[in-house]
Amino acid sequence: MKKNQGFSLVELIVVIAIMAVLVGVLAPAYLRYVEKSRKSSDISSISDIISAGEKIAVDVQFDLAAANTLVVTISGGNVTYAVTGNTAATTEWTDICGASYTCKSKEFKESAANVTITGTIQAAGNVQWQASAQTIIVTYSPDFKTKWGL
């Protein structure tokens, strides 16, 4: 009858070394993937906020004129939004989207300082958007620029 003695110390060290190499190779790729996912989530959330603003702009309840503008501000990763000159529309917008949004990605928090996206209400009822600093958002998502005409 053979006695079961388990693994030797050398075998355990070899297994631990192999695992350390795998973690060393895979961890940076995983962290890049997580950050990319966070950036995509931030872009999607900002796009949803802008979309909700457009719905507010065309809502007859608020009767927004061309004098009103929709303003989305990204400062230090915090996104706030308001309708100039119309508190009721701003309240409705915050009811739809929440009081504000905090970006989750590290790059957005660090590099997205003072970006203002302004929506001007046109006579035809549509909204034309302009960004004060396109590079921050557009670098992360060229589709965002195309979708909102920035």
Domain count of the fold of the chain: 1
**Is 107 within the bounds of a domain?**
yes
Q: Within the chain, how many helices (H) and strands (E) appear? A: 5, 5
**Is 1 within the bounds of a domain?**
no
- H or E element in which residue 128 lies: strand 127-131
Q: Give 42-99 pLDDT, tens digit per residue.
A: 888 988 999 998 888 888 777 777 778 899 888 888 888 998 888 888 888 888 888 8
DSSP state of 122: P
**Is 131 within the bounds of a domain?**
yes
Q: Give the pLDDT of residue 1.
A: 59
Q: Give 108-134 pLDDT, tens digit per residue.
A: 777 656 788 888 888 777 788 888 876
- H or E element in which residue 25 lies: helix 9-58
**Is 4 within the bounds of a domain?**
no
**Is 3 within the bounds of a domain?**
no
| Cα–Cα distance for residue pair 95/148, rounded to 1 Å | 22
The residue segments making up the domain with residue 24 are 9-148
